[in-house]
Structure 1
Amino acid sequence: MHTTAYKPHPSEKMKAALWTGTKSIELGEVPKPTITAPKDAIVHIAHCTICGSDLHMYASDLNKVMQQGLIMGHEAIGIVEEIGPEVQNLQAGDRVIILPVITCGECFYCKRNEFSLCDRTNPYKELEHMYGHRLSGIFGYSMITGGYPGDQAEYCRVPNADLTCVKAPKDIDAKKLVGVADVTTTAWHGCELAEVGEGDIVGVWGCGAVGLLIQRLAKFRGASRVYAVDKDIDQLGIAKSLGMIPVDVNEHLYPADYVLSIEPHRLDRGIEASGFRSTNSAAHATMRALGIEVDSSDTANAVIKATRKGWNVALIGDFFYTTNNFPIGMLMEKAMTLRGGQLYAQKYFPFLLDIVVEGKYDPSFMFTHEDNFENISQNYDAFFNHKVPGGLKVCLATAFGRAQK
C-alpha cells in the first residue's frame, strides 16, 4: 500500500461552520487539519448536511458543554487526500462516507460491536461523573462526546480512519451516500433496538428525517402497519405518501389514547424519534420553559402507554439529562424492555450501503433542498425554524463537491 506522509502547511486555511453561541453558526476560516496520529486520514469534504441533533447545540440545549469555535457536523462524504502510515484499507483518491461515531475497535464494547459505547475515544472526563462511564467520541457534537472538530468543513481529520470511513462507489449519487452516513444508520439502529420484525404493528413518534426513515425501514423489515405521530402537517403528509398511517397530534391531543382506540391489541413496537425538546402537555412545556426539567418525557410516556405489554420501546431522539414524571411504574408493571443509545454505525455497514447500491432502498428523498456549503449559516436558521424548502433536510455541496459534477 502506498502511504503519503502528510506535511503540515500552517498557512493553509479552510472554510468551516463554527459554533459561536446560541443560534449562531458562522462560516469562518480556520487552519486546515493535518495528520496527528498514524491511523488518521484527511478527507476533502464534498457534501455534508445539518442533523436534527445539531440543533441541540444551535438552540442552547448543550451550551454548558460547548466550546467557542467548535467545528460542527457529523454527516459528510468526500475524497481521501492523505493517510497516516498505519492506515491499511484506504488510499488517497478513495471516495468515502465519514461515519459519525469514532471508535477504537479494540475495547470491550467495540469487540461486542457496540461502537458508540467505546471506552477509548472520548477524553471528556466529566461524562464519567454524569453517567458513570464515558461514551464514544462523535464528530462536531460538543465536548461531551470528545470535542472533535466536525465535518461541516472543507476538510476533516478522521481518527482511526479504517474504522471511521466506509469506501463508497464513485458513481452513486451524493445524496444517497450522505443519507446513509448517519440518518439511515440511526433509523436502522432504532429498528434494531425495538426489534422490529415481520408482521409487527409499529408506532413512530416523530416525522423528521430520522422518524420517516425509521418508518420506511420498519416496512422494509416486514412491519404490517406503521403509525406516524407528529404535529407537523407537511411531514405527516410525507409519511402518508410513503404508506404510513398519520396521527396528527394537533387533532389528537393524546395520541397514545387515539392509537389504543384503533389498535385494541396495542402496538408491538414503539419508537421515540422526536427528541427531548418535544412536548405536548402543558405541564412539560411549562417545566421546560422554567428550567425545572431539561429533557422531557412527554413523547416517551405516550410511546410506553401505546405499546403492548412485554414488548419493546426504543428511544432514538437524543436525551441527555433528566426529566420529570417519567412513567417508571407503567414501564415496570407492563414488563417492557426500554432501550436507547447512539447508533452502532460501524456494525450496520456494509449492509446498509449494499441495499442503497443495489437499489433496494433510497434515502435521498430526505433531501428536499440543495444549497452551497457557503450558505450553511442561513440553512441552520431555516432548519431550526422549519423553513427548509420541502420540509426536511438540505444537502450542502462544498466548492470541491460542486467541481466533482
Structure 2
Amino acid sequence: MAKVQHPVYTTKYKPHAYKTMKAAQWMGPKNVQLGTVPKPMVTAPKDAIVHITHCTICGSDLHMYNPDLKTAMEKGLILGHEAIGIVDEVGKSVQTLIPGDRVIILPVIACGECFYCTREEYSLCDRTNPSEEMEQLYGHRLSGMFGYSKLTGGYPGNQAEWCRVPNADLVCVKAPTDLPAQKLLGLCDVTPSAWHGNELAEVRKGDVVGVWGCGAVGLSVQRLALFRGAKKVYGIDKDPQRLALAKGYGSVPVDVATHKDVADFILEVEPNGLDRAIEASGFRSTNSISHTIMRGIFAEGDSGDTISSIIKATRKGGNIALIGDFFFKTNQFPIGALMEKAITLRGGQLYAQKYFPYLLEITARGEYDPSFMFTYEDDFENIASDYAKFNSHEIPGGLKVCLVTAFGRTL
C-alpha cells in the first residue's frame, strides 16, 4: 500500500532531538509525580512517536490513584490514555501517517487482524495484551491499553510529552486541522465510551433511559441518548454541581442524597420502568457500609449496590449496559431479578476504532460538541495537583481538566 501524503498541521514543525521528557508517573497510592524519563523511540515497524499537545485525566485513572488496582501497578508507570498531538516519527511499515500530522490517540491498542478485530470488537483484541494475570482472572486477555496497569499490558501512557503508539495506523486517527483541541481531546475516550454505552443498551428513538453517573462519561451518555432520539433521560448522581449540569443538558436529575432508594423513586414516576439503563459511575460510586466491610476483609472487590438498583428500575425485557469500570467480583448480585425479568445485560470497554469515523463526522459538522466536558484548563506540569483535585471533585466547573503541554502552548 502506498503511503498517503497529508498536509502538515503546522509548517513550523520539525522532529525534536530531545532524549528525555516529562511524564506523569504512578509512584504509589495517591502519589502521582511529574518525573523525567527517556523519550520513547520507535521499536517496531508499525510504531509512531507522537509529540503530545493536550491530555487529560480520566475517571478510570482514579482506580489506580486510590488505588483499586494496587496489585496490578508498577512503580514508575506512565499514566494516561486520552491525548492528542503531532506525529514526530513513524516506523517503516506505517502507511497513513507522516511527521507533522495532527492525530488523536485512541485508548485501545488493537492489532486489527485477530478474530475480534476483524469483527470490529477492538477492545477484545487477542494479540496486544501479554498479561497472564488478566487471563487467570477472566479466562481470556483483553486488548492492551495505554497507561492502565499491568492488567492491560503495562503500556506507558500519554500523560507525557511524547508517546509511542503501537499499530499507529489503527490506534491513531488523523485529525482535522481546524477543530479546536478540546473537541478532539473529548473524542479520545469519553465520547466513544458514551456511544458504546448507548450501543450496548440499544438506545433508540422514544426510549426512557436512566444513566447512573453525571461525570464526563455519564453526561456524554445522556447527551448522546437524547441525540439518538430518547424521549426522556434520567441522570442519577449525588454531586449537586453535576446534577445541575445534567439538567442543563436536558436530562431529569435524580439526587441519590434525596432519594435513598433510586429504583423505587424511578418506578414511582415511570411505573413500567426504564427501557434502557446505563451504568457510568463505576463501583467506587457506592458508600454502603456492607461494601466497605466486605472490601476491608477482601470478600468483595466491586460493589453490586448500583447494578442492583439498575436491575430493579429497568422494565421487563429492557436493556442494561455497564461501562463504568468493574474488575473483580461482587456479592448479593440480583441474578433472579435479572433472569426472571428477561433483562439483557451487556458490558465491556469501548470499540473506539469502530465508532470513530461517525463520531468525528458529527463533531466536524457541528452536530455534537464533546468539548463541554472540559471545565478547566491547566498546564501539564501541574498534573500531580490536578489528580488530587480531580479525586476530591475540586476541579473548577466539576468535570475534566484539559492539560496543555509546553509544546502545545507553542501552537
Give me the TM-score of the superposition, normalised by structure 1. 0.97
2:168 aligned residue (158, 161, 184): 161
Task: Determine whether 1:41 maps to 2:53.
Answer: no
Measured in 2, the distance between the counterparts of 1:276 and 1:287 equals 13
The Cα offsets for residues 321-379 of structure 1, whole Å up to 9 and x where unpaired, read as: 01111111111111111100000010001110111111000011110000000000000
Measured in 2, the distance between the counterparts of 1:282 and 1:263 equals 29
Measured in 1, the distance between the counterparts of 2:297 and 2:251 equals 36
1:269 aligned residue (276, 284, 299): 276
Task: Determine whether 1:119 maps to 2:126.
Answer: yes
Q: Show the counterpart of 1:379.
A: 386
Q: Show the counterpart of 1:301.
A: 308
Question: What is the CA-CA distance between 1:292 and the residue it aligns to?
Answer: 2.7
1:178 aligned residue (176, 182, 185): 185
- Range 277-286 or range 324-333, more displaced: 277-286
Question: What is the CA-CA distance between 1:297 and the residue it aligns to?
Answer: 1.0
Task: Determine whether 1:336 maps to 2:343.
Answer: yes
Question: What is the CA-CA distance between 1:128 and the residue it aligns to?
Answer: 1.2
Q: Show the counterpart of 1:222.
A: 229
| AA at the equivalent of 2:46 | K
Measured in 2, the distance between the counterparts of 1:116 and 1:41 equals 20
2:407 partner SS? helix
Aligned residue runs from structure 1 range 96-175, under 5 A: 96-175=103-182
- For the 8 Å contact 1:42–1:83, the answer to whether it is kept is yes
Q: Show the counterpart of 1:364.
A: 371
2:191 partner SS? helix
Aligned residue runs from structure 1 range 5-16, under 5 A: 12-16=19-23
1:350 partner SS? helix
Question: What is the CA-CA distance between 1:60 and the residue it aligns to?
Answer: 1.1
1:293 partner SS? coil
Question: What is the CA-CA distance between 1:290 and the residue it aligns to?
Answer: 4.3
| AA at the equivalent of 2:348 | G
1:110 partner SS? helix
1:198 aligned residue (201, 205, 208): 205
Q: Show the counterpart of 2:8.
A: none
1:39 partner SS? coil
After superposition, the Cα gap between the structure-2 partners of 1:232 and 1:222, relative to the gap in structure 1 and judged at 3 Å, is same
Task: Determine whether 1:52 maps to 2:52.
Answer: no
- For the 8 Å contact 1:100–1:181, the answer to whether it is kept is yes
Measured in 1, the distance between the counterparts of 2:129 and 2:406 equals 32
Q: Show the counterpart of 1:249.
A: 256
1:270 partner SS? strand
1:228 partner SS? strand
Measured in 2, the distance between the counterparts of 1:8 and 1:143 equals 30
Runs of 5+ consecutive residues of structure 2 not aligned to the other structure: 6-14
The Cα offsets for residues 209-253 of structure 1, whole Å up to 9 and x where unpaired, read as: 000000000000000000000111110000011111011010000
The Cα offsets for residues 277-300 of structure 1, whole Å up to 9 and x where unpaired, read as: 121543224323444311001111
Task: Determine whether 1:400 maps to 2:407.
Answer: yes
Q: Show the counterpart of 1:346.
A: 353
Task: Determine whether 1:237 maps to 2:244.
Answer: yes
| AA at the equivalent of 2:236 | V
Measured in 1, the distance between the counterparts of 2:16 and 2:394 equals 40
Measured in 2, the distance between the counterparts of 1:36 and 1:8 equals 17
Give me the TM-score of the superposition, normalised by structure 2. 0.95
| AA at the equivalent of 1:297 | G
Identity across the alignment (%): 67
Q: Show the counterpart of 2:10.
A: none
Structure 1 stretches of at least 4 aligned residues deviating more than 3 Å after TM superposition: 288-291
Question: What is the CA-CA distance between 1:185 and the residue it aligns to?
Answer: 0.6
Measured in 2, the distance between the counterparts of 1:235 and 1:374 equals 27
The Cα offsets for residues 83-108 of structure 1, whole Å up to 9 and x where unpaired, read as: 10100011111100000000000000
Q: Show the counterpart of 1:27.
A: 34
- For the 8 Å contact 1:372–1:397, the answer to whether it is kept is yes
Measured in 1, the distance between the counterparts of 2:86 and 2:16 equals 18
| AA at the equivalent of 1:86 | S
| AA at the equivalent of 2:217 | V
- For the 8 Å contact 2:311–2:338, the answer to whether it is kept is yes
2:59 partner SS? coil
- For the 8 Å contact 1:280–1:298, the answer to whether it is kept is no
| AA at the equivalent of 1:136 | S
| AA at the equivalent of 2:397 | G
Q: Show the counterpart of 1:188.
A: 195
Measured in 1, the distance between the counterparts of 2:183 and 2:274 equals 31
Runs of 5+ consecutive residues of structure 1 not aligned to the other structure: none
- For the 8 Å contact 1:278–1:298, the answer to whether it is kept is no
1:69 partner SS? coil
Give the length in aligned residue pairs. 400
Measured in 1, the distance between the counterparts of 2:401 and 2:136 equals 37
